[in-house]
Amino acid sequence: SLKRGSAQDLKCTTKNMQVWDCTWTAPVGVSPGTVKEVCIKDRLNSCHRLESTNIKIAALSPGDHEVAINYLNGFQSKFTLNENDVSLIPDTPESLDLSADFSTSTLHLRWNDRGSAFPYPCNATWEIKVLQNPSMELVKLVSFNTTLSGRDIVHHWNWTSDLPLQCATHSVGIRWYIDYNRFSGYKVWSDWSPLKNVSWTPNSETNVFPQDKVILAGSDITFCCVSQTKVLSGQIGKTFCPLIHLYGENVAIHIRNISVSENSGTNVVFTTEDNVYGTVVFAGYPPDIPQKLNCETHDFKEIICSWNPGRPTGLVGPRNTDYTLSESISGKSVPFKRFETLTNESYRLAFQMLPGQEIHNFTLTGRNPLGHAESAVFINITERVAPHVPVSLRVKDISSTVVTLSWHLPGNFAKINLLCQVEICKASSEREVRNATIKGAEESSYLVAVDKLNPYTLYTFRVRCSTETFWKWSKWSNEKRHLTTEAIPS
Amino acid sequence: LALSLLFLSVARTTRRCPSSFPQLLSQLQSQANITGDTGSLLEPYIRLQNLNTPTLRAACAEFPVTFPSEDTLRALSKPRFLSTVQATLGRVLQQLSALAQRFPKTRAFPELEKTRGNVQGIRNNVFCIAQLLNHSLETPKPTQASSGASLSTATTPSIFQTKLDSCRFLWGYHGFMGSVGKVFQEWRDGSNRSRR
């Protein structure tokens, strides 16, 4: 008869919910290597002859399944196997590549989720740890979910370290577990992947990091110093800061709420017995939204856009704000040329007009190392005409009570009507303004008659122009003094 | 103000030389003394670059860029001395131009432009005095000491290193001008004695 004994420590795990890997301990009195036959009551009622106490079987359908182990020496063990007892432990993830951008102290991790090993879409939860050597201090632990889609997908993860990566070797590990709602067994974390390290190869030139960083004013930042000899002090500007010991003689200082730098930046300095190491940080702001963006033309040849830059960024020179004006209809764009030597900078750009284009959709973008901002304006340029000042004003007698005024107005106004004003002043400071609508022309002089004047009277004339669709007056022309002729005695 | 106008006027005329040796010598000596004063360039630079801490001042002064020393200058013959000053100031002008590139807003550092004008003025006067003495200003072989005023480093230095290197250069430059002033003073004393 079959001697019965219960299987001890039965453990079934699966990596991919398709194959179960079961192991058990042989009953007392039975050597583990004894040949046995394992029979499973499932759809196939399959039996497997084996010597070890481990068997890989295709995943069984949900529910209890009776499994009998018949040892050739007459022993038999029986146990009930249910998916509920199975642990889903995925393979250790294989991180493909760990790289570092030392200039931004950013780690880039790439790994393959081996999704093709899983027949059904399921949720994967990943956990990534970053350790700082040599103390292997955990500096970052992050977890997030992805979906396995039946295909191998390479995932990316970026992390920017507070501490410049140059100042300590960092190690990264990753693990995961899979949550498949139709799998009723235990979901267990995989093992951690082998740690991948990233370290900086010190060169003698640079010891303090980050170098020449541009950061948002008000943010916190850590500066570190790689040194062979004892660092005695660390300071930002004139403020000494407590040294944070990293390892060896490497130290760091942590700055909170950094204030805006002066033009030449803020010096961060570490001193040792015989040397000084340092870096410069530029704390400022991203460009403000350009304010009062105004685009108009004086002459229908070029459009002048002007704006107010808004809040100063605190950044100059190569870190100053670059502006670009782009016009979407024509697709043209114009960079702003900065003349920093001027005492007060004027923010203006000239955009060459395209023949026949009246509607313009302008976007002005300001960009600096901390960000960008833009303003837009949509105009019909015929409604944004601010003519130049009229020049070469001349007066010509027609009669003792009528004169003609002529002037030149630079620009191409052929497509519009000009609205001009003539100011007539008499010595007695009587002042009269008359309007005149004139057909525009190209690079032309214009002429109007002024009647109802008094004979033999000293007048002062001046003129200014705008357009029928009024936007702005030009400046007044120079004044022209004129004595009307004497009336012919009747 | 009058003096700087003097520099400018001389600088502008470049090659119209005063004919009086004592006048030229006196001009050169006062020009050297003015440019030897660290207040004319180094101090404003230190303030502008926020290097005005004991630590950074020491770091600046400790390793000044090497210029020909006073003893080296004093030991040179008149022609060699003039040639050395002319060549060294030529390199100084190059370095000052490089420095100017790093100052977007010239109005923030007007002393730099003034110094460039002064150095050009000194070079003009050195040319004139060499002409008066019938010395040709040959380009001297750079002696180990006179190699000064060159700042180039292999890799692109960081901004902090550039600040410090420029500070060390200016420290060396002012020292050099001070030495030049003393040698011209000795020339004057010598020529005064020979006239008695």
State the pTM of this model: 0.81
Helix (H) or strand (E) holding A463: strand A458-467
Give residue A429's identity as a one-letter amino acid code: S
Percentage of chain B beyond pLDDT 90 is 53
- What confidence score (pLDDT) does residue B6 get? 42
pLDDT given at position B107: 59
Record the tokens describing residue B138, joined without a space.
Answer: 């040959």
Contact at 8 Å (CB) between B84 and B68?
Answer: yes
Does residue A134 have a cis peptide bond before it, meaning omega lies within 30 degrees of 0?
A: yes
Give the per-residue pLDDT at B2: 40
Q: Residue A408 has what pLDDT?
A: 96
Task: Identify the closest residue of chain B to A205 by CA–CA distance.
Answer: B157
Instruction: Kindly state whether A340 is in contact with chain B, defined as any CB-CB distance less than 8 angstroms.
Output: yes
Task: For A331, list phi and psi in degrees, rounded to 5.
Answer: 80, 5
Give pLDDT, residue B194: 66
Range name among A186-195, A338-347, B119-128 with the lowest pLDDT average: A338-347
Average pLDDT over residues B3-8: 41
- Per-residue pLDDT, averaged over B87-112, amounts to 84
DSSP for B52-92 reads -SHHHHHHHHHSPPP---HHHHHHS-HHHHHHHHHHHHHHH
User: Mean per-residue pLDDT for A181-189?
Assistant: 89
Put simply, the answer to whether B159 touches A205 (Cβ < 8 Å) is: no
In B, minimum Cα distance to A278 occurs at B160
Q: Is the pLDDT of residue A119 over 90?
A: no
Radius of gyration of chain A from its Cα atoms, rounded to whole angstroms: 42
pLDDT for B141 beyond 70: no
Q: What is the mean pLDDT of residues A82-105?
A: 90
As a whole number of angstroms, the distance between CA A81 and CA A281 comes to 65
CA-based nearest residue in chain B for residue A212: B159
CA-closest candidate to residue A55, choices A32, A72, A29: A32
- pLDDT at residue A4, rounded to an integer: 46
Does residue A343 surpass a pLDDT of 90?
A: no
Which amino acid, one-letter code, is at B166?
Answer: S
- Contact assessment for residue A235 and residue A269, using Cβ atoms and an 8 Å cutoff: yes
Q: Do A340 and B104 touch (CB under 8 A)?
A: yes
Tokens describing residue A51: 């010597």
Chain B interface test: which of A267, A271, A313, A368 (most B C-beta within 10 Å): A267
* Residues A378-407 pLDDT 10s: 999 999 999 999 999 999 999 999 999 999
| Token pair belonging to A275 | 């040397």
Which residues in A lie closer than 8 A to residue B59 (C-beta atoms)? 276
Coil, strand, or helix at residue A152?
coil
Say yes or no for a CB contact (<8 Å) between B105 and A276: no
For residues B131-143, give the mean pLDDT. 70
Query: What are the angstrom distances between the C-alpha of A221 and each of A114, A137, A213, A276?
Result: 38, 19, 10, 20
H or E segment at A26? none
Which is it for strands A36-40 and A106-112: parallel, antiparallel or unpaired? unpaired
Tell me, what's the pLDDT at A130?
Answer: 96
Give the residue-averaged pLDDT of A324-343.
84
Percent of chain A, pLDDT > 70? 95
Element (H, E) at A448: strand A442-450
Any CB–CB contact under 8 A between B161 and chain A? Answer: yes
CB within 8 Å of A81: residues ≥ 6 apart = A10, A12, A22, A40, A60, A64, A65, A66, A67
Mean pLDDT score across all residues of chain A:
90
One-letter identity of residue B57: R
Q: Give just the sign of the alpha carbon dihedral B85, B87, B89, B95.
A: negative
- Scanning every residue of chain A, which has its alpha carbon at the shortest distance from the alpha carbon of B153? A205
pLDDT above 70: residue A294: yes
User: What pLDDT is stored for residue B144 in this prediction?
Assistant: 42
Q: List CB contacts (< 8 A) between A238 and chain B.
A: 53
Comparing CA positions, the residue from A285, A317, A311 lying closest to residue A217 is: A285
Q: Could you read off the pLDDT of B28-82 as tens digits, one per residue?
A: 988 998 999 999 999 999 999 999 999 999 999 887 778 999 999 999 999 999 9
Residues 6+ apart with CB under 8 A from A130: A107, A138, A139, A140, A141, A159, A161, A170, A171, A172
The three state secondary structure string of chain B is CHHHHHHHHHHHHCCCCCCCHHHHHHHHHHHHHHHHCHHHCHHHHHHHCCCCCHHHHHHHHHCCCCCCCHHHHHHCCHHHHHHHHHHHHHHHHHHHHHHHHCCCCHHHCHHHHHHHHHHHHHHHHHHHHHHHCCCCCCCCCCCCHHHCCCCCCCCCCCHHHHHHHHHHHHHHHHHHHHHHHHHHHHHHHHHHHHHC
Contact B55 A271 (CB under 8 A): yes
CB distance A120 to A212 below 8 Å: no
Model confidence band, residue B195 (pLDDT cutoffs 50, 70, 90):
low
In 3D space, the residue among A304, A286, A308, A287 whose CA is nearest the CA of residue A295 turns out to be A304
Strands A47-50 and A36-40: antiparallel
Inspect the interface and report whether the beta carbons of A206 and B102 lie closer than 8 Å: no
Instruction: Give the three-state DSSP class for A319.
Output: helix
- What does the block give as tokens for A280? 């410069």
Cα separation, A463 vs A478, in Å, equals: 8
The beta-carbon neighbor of B56 closest among A267, A317, A341 is: A267
- What per-residue confidence (pLDDT) applies to A48? 83
For residues A124 and A91, give the distance between their C-alpha atoms in angstroms, rounded to a whole number.
Answer: 12
Provide the mean pLDDT of chain B: 81
* Minimum-distance CB partner of B59 among A237, A238, A276: A276
Please count the other Cβ atoms lying within 10 Å of the Cβ belonging to residue A374. Answer: 16
Q: Tokens for B93, please give them.
A: 């002008």
CB B53 within 8 A of CB B126: no
What angle (nearest 5°) sits at the alpha carbon of residue A379, between those of residues A377 and A384?
115
Contact A249, A227 (CB under 8 A): yes
Q: Tell me whether residues B158 and A206 touch, CB distance under 8 A.
A: yes
A101 near A93, Cβ under 8 Å? no
Residues of A within 8 A of B161 (CB-CB) are 205, 278
Distance of CA A249 to the CA centre of its chain: 36
End-to-end CA distance of chain B: 34
Under a CB-based contact definition with an 8 Å cutoff, are residues A351 and A302 in contact?
yes
What residue type is assigned to position A457 of the chain? T
Rounded Cα–Cα distance for residues B88 and B172 (Å): 11
Give the tens place of pLDDT for each residue, A405-421: 999 999 999 989 999 99
What pLDDT is attached to residue A43?
63
A104 Cα to chain B: minimum distance (Å): 15
CA geometry: angle at A60 spanning A59 and A63, to 5°? Answer: 140
Closest CA to B11 of B126, B161, B92: B126
Whether the per-residue pLDDT at A228 is higher than 90: the answer is no
Residues of chain B neighbouring A211 (CB-CB closer than 8 A) = 158-160
* β-pair type (A250-255, A221-225): antiparallel
Q: SS3 of A189, please?
A: coil
**Nearest alpha-carbon partner for A53 in A35, A76, A29, A28:** A35
Structure tokens at A52: 């070890």
Residues of A in contact with B55 (CB under 8 A): 233, 235, 269, 271, 276
Residue B13 confidence (pLDDT) above 50: no
Answer yes or no: are the C-beta atoms of A336 and A323 closer than 8 Å: yes
Q: Which of B2-6, B146-150, B154-158 has the highest mean pLDDT?
A: B154-158
pLDDT in the model for residue B146: 42
